[in-house]
A and B are shown apart, each in its own frame.
Chain A
């Protein structure tokens, strides 16, 4: 049986996202184990969620393609994967202090308003719009941090989060042109964004290993 090339490409890109997300998650976990820092713990949850989200889509499609041999891929797998990724984006935004902004009505509007402009109000598109908002928020906060510390690696992180946001936007917009190249551009943009988040890792020496007790 011949497999549709677009389905295979989609599966491969998602599996690549799974590997990149997982690698970032493992790195953050090592950081948490070494320092006991709650920030690194949140980043660890964030990147594991993003990686697992990609993995759910990638492995789900792989199972349907190669084991179950479905002709049409189930859309709920995509929805589930994106939902798990959104948890990750939430934790990145949360680390930037989303909690302190949440009660403000303007922020509420920015979350609630897109729900009414989403075509068909499908769960996948609602989740994508939330991801987009969280990622844009994270990008803006990171750019603000760059203005303060002028670190080159910070601008790479801001670019990475921005690309993830653009990828989510393109993914959401691909509903207008289903089965077009737009969706693959969306996944590729997201993976490039995840790759840009790797830049800070290259500057950290991975040596030593101990955890400070949480009692301090």
Chain B
């Protein structure tokens, strides 16, 4: 769950340009293997939380409005779980 939060936060707050963040950039930020990240990205795109864009022949990912809503909820409830000394 925290990896998803990291990916969405990166695509929202730290994407290098407007077209989104590249897979290499996300691997570095989320600190996960390519195989695992690819599966997560595929799911996030299917769920409508990320949008896939193509820029300079490279595949990039941008957060969707649905993803922004999810990230906001995730952060709120992460605070709630943190208060119990738990991780969501």
Chain A residues within 8 Å of B, Cβ to Cβ: 27-28, 31, 34-37, 39-40, 43, 92, 95-96, 141-142, 144-146, 149, 151, 153-154, 156-158, 199-201, 203-210, 212-213, 215-216
Contacts and interface: CB of A to CB of B under 8 A. Distances in A.
A39 B73 contact: no
Nearest to A208: B69
A112 B87 CA distance: 30
Contacts of A206: 76
A contact patch SS: helix
Contact of A34 (B40, B73, B81, B87): B73
Interface centre among A28, A34, A203, A206 (most CB of B within 10 A): A34
B71 to A, nearest CB: 9
Contact of A157 (B39, B72, B84): B84
Nearest to B4: A216
Interface of B: 1, 4, 39-40, 43-44, 46-47, 49, 66, 69-70, 72-74, 76-77, 79-88
B contact patch SS: helix
A210 B70 contact: yes
Nearest to B46: A213
A39 B74 contact: no
7 contacts: A39-B87, A154-B82, A203-B79, A205-B76, A212-B70, A213-B43, A216-B40
Contact of A37 (B1, B69, B82): B1
Nearest to B1: A37
State the 4 A-B residue pairs at the shortest beta-carbon distance, nearest first. A145-B85, A200-B83, A208-B69, A37-B88
Nearest to A139: B85
Contact of A31 (B69, B77, B85): B77
A39 B82 contact: no
Nearest to A27: B80
A37 B79 CA distance: 13
Contact of A142 (B69, B77, B84, B88): B84
Contacts of A92: 84
A153 B77 CA distance: 13
A34 B84 contact: no
